Structure 1
Amino acid sequence: MLIVFGGLPGSGKTTLARALAERLGAVHVRVDTIEQAIKASGIPSRDVGPAGYVVAYGVAEDNLTLGSVVIADSVNPLDITRDAWLRVAARSAVTAVEVEVICSDKIEHRRRVETRKTDVEGLVKPTWQETVDRVYDDWGQRPIVVDTAAKDVQEIVEALIARLGIAGPFSI
């Protein structure tokens, strides 16, 4: 299974993706980490463009074909990136589930964006203004929508596991 997380910066998607990956023993593929590694490699361009996503698609596909559950973690702002994840799942002959992470409390969302620390060396987090100005296509009706404003991480992870009908290595 490919579980594709998306959402604006500061919505809580990486926190959820990590917690779910840990609970399931899944592979966590984070586009921020990949993009920063590309930048650190010395490639002259400051903007890596689609390269981070393209690398993430390949890493995800490799792990899916090995039978691993993969959790893709990125802002995933455009229909084109979301459709590409679905093609990765189709090529790997696995189910894809899309999860849009939101924080409906705008004051809390802004606080998170403005106070969070980076955990990827060299990664500069976007400002609140950059977050709200970001191009972000509507997902329509296809994703599971998770609101991090009112529930804690473990509650959301348990609800996702129940909704997806999946279990991790702990149940073997």
Structure 2
Amino acid sequence: MLYIFAGLPGTGKSSLSSRLAGQRGAVYLHIDTIEQSMRRAGIDDIGPKGYGVAYGVALDNLRLGATVVADSVNPLDITRRAWRETADLANSPFVEIEIVCSDTKEHQARIESRTTDIAGLKLPTWQDVLCRTYAPWQPAPIVIDTAGRSIKQSMAEMIESLRLKGY
């Protein structure tokens, strides 16, 4: 099973996806960790390479029968399609989950107060988030709005949404 997460930085995507991975005993693929590891290895022009690494690691693990949680901004149809194709290559089911924060002030406050445990990772500014390309979904995935909610509340909603869809 492949859980494909998406959402702008600061929406709660990593908090929810990592908790789901822990709860389901899944392999957790965090694109920030992958890309920062590539930078530390001397690869400066990452572009789509980090996603490519993630697709390959996901495919290997799905073929072994593991559950995989993919945590990335996943901003374009091309990246979303590549995740679906990865699941298809492994004959694995998948579900797409978009995490949003509909309250702009709350979202900005989250961005401006974030910290990371990934050594050397430069977090995006609010301006970076505002300028980021993020295409609408076709078709719409499961959408979890974290505005005004705790991680526990958002997690409960996500688990219920997954249950109702048979995941």
Normalising to structure 2: TM-score of the pair?
0.93
> Number of aligned pairs?
165
1:156: Cα distance to partner? 2.6
Query: What does residue 162 of structure 1 align with?
Result: 160
CA contact (8 A) 1:28 1:72 kept: yes
Letter in 2 for 1:4: I
Cα offsets for 1:37-82 (capped at 9, x unmatched)? 0010013x3x310110000001111111111111100000111000
CA distance in 2, matches of 1:86, 1:129: 30
Letter in 2 for 1:24: R
CA contact (8 A) 2:142 2:161 kept: no
1:162: Cα distance to partner? 3.1
Structure 1 segment 124-139 matched on structure 2, within 5 A: 124-139=122-137
Structure 1 segment 86-101 matched on structure 2, within 5 A: 86-101=84-99
SS of the residue 1:71 aligns to: strand
Letter in 2 for 1:63: N
Query: What does residue 9 of structure 1 align with?
Result: 9
The answer to which of 133-142 and 13-22 deviates more is 133-142
Query: What does residue 170 of structure 1 align with?
Result: none
Query: What does residue 117 of structure 2 align with?
Result: 119
Letter in 2 for 1:16: L
Query: What does residue 102 of structure 2 align with?
Result: 104
RMSD between aligned residues: 1.4
Letter in 2 for 1:67: G
SS of the residue 2:144 aligns to: strand
SS of the residue 1:124 aligns to: coil
Letter in 2 for 1:25: G
- Runs (4+) of structure 1 moved beyond 3 Å? none
- Aligned-pair identity (%): 50
